[in-house]
Every structure is written in structure tokens, then in C-alpha cells.
Amino acid sequence: VREYATLKEKIENIPDDLKRVDILVNNAGLAIGLDKLYLNQREDVDNVLDTNVKGAIYMLELIVPKMLENGVKGTIINMGSVAGNSAYAGGAVYCASKAAIKTISDGLRIDLVDKDIRVTTILPGMVETDFSLVRFKGDSARAKSVYTGIEPLTPEDVADTVIYVSNLPHNIQITDLVLTPLHQADGRCIHKI
């Protein structure tokens, strides 16, 4: 999602019978490392911001006009994170990128207030995916340790939430939906057994 021209070409080449978009889920996201902000590698910062923020904006720029053109009663779900609500050590860039997603959603909701397209930000807490493996650049032992001592959410939990939001009567717009594992209070407070 980082390359606008590539995204545009792929979307333009979707077969006509699949071009109508009723639901957009902006879910691309990553974090790299846990360095202090002033020690981050420039390439890592660019990768995080280009993927998490610019990629979401690019998709919105490409898809929302098509939704409006087709007159759909649409749903846009942007995947944020509880990390966007409060920074944690070594996570300044990732946290900022997810705070941006919430703000982008809020602004888009205002832009679309007179349209039949609802905008939701889902803000998951800890979800066991390859997220930590990417963050720690393939260090599987370190990635696995993130989930030790807590039962994290699963990708299926998040998918069920997307389905729930999408299937609500269209007059209901959930602006923000936070979901965390039982023993996670926010982006920083996690109880491990």
C-alpha cells in the first residue's frame, strides 16, 4: 500500500463485476523495532509511516470516490490500535501512526457526514499475529515472548469485530471500537501470568 501508482493501477485493473466497493477495511500496518525515538533508523521510520499512514490515505483517496460514484451505503473501517491512544517506551513512531489513523477517520467521518458512508476506527490491543516477528526483524524467540503469560486476541477476534460493525443496521455508526485481551487495560498496562 506504500506505492500510490501501483495501488491505483491494481484498483483500475479489477474486473468490472468486482469493482463495486461497499466495505473498505484499511488494515495494513507494521512496527519496526523498539528504539528510542532519537535512535530510530530513518528507513524504519519511513516504512512505518508510509505503510500505516500514507497507505491508508492512498486507499481512501482511491476507493471513497468510487463508493460515492456508485451511490453505495458503505462502511469504511480503519484499523487503529490502543497504542494510538497512549505512547509506550520505544513505540513513538508506531503510536503516532495509529493516532493519525484515528484522526484521519474522524476527519473523514466529518467529510462524509452528509453521505451514506459510515466510518469506524477499530482499535485492537494485543493480537497474536506476525506483527511482533516483523517488529523484531525475524527474531522469533523475541516475538514469541511478547505473547507469553497472556492470552492475546486472535486475528479471528478482530475479523469478527469487523463483521459485527459491517453488519449493523446502516443507521448505526460506531465511531471507535476498542477491544483488548482480558488482561490488557490499555497500550501500556498488561498483566502477564
Convert 18-49 into a string of H (helix), E (strand) and C (coil).
HCCCCEEEECCCCCCCCCCHHHCCHHHHHHHH
- Do β-strands 23-26 and 74-79 pair in parallel, antiparallel, or remain unpaired? parallel
Of 88, 98, 115, 144, which one is the catalytic site residue?
Answer: 98
User: Dihedrals φ, ψ of 187, to 5°?
Assistant: -70, -20
Indicate if 98 belongs to the active site: yes
Indicate if 38 belongs to the active site: no
Identity of the amino acid at 113: V
End-to-end CA distance of the chain: 37
115 exposure class (CB count in 10 Å sphere: 0-12, 13-18, 19+): middle
Of 36, 38, 54, 94, which one is the catalytic site residue?
Answer: 94
**Rounded CA separation 46/53 (Å):** 10
Active-site positions read: 94, 98
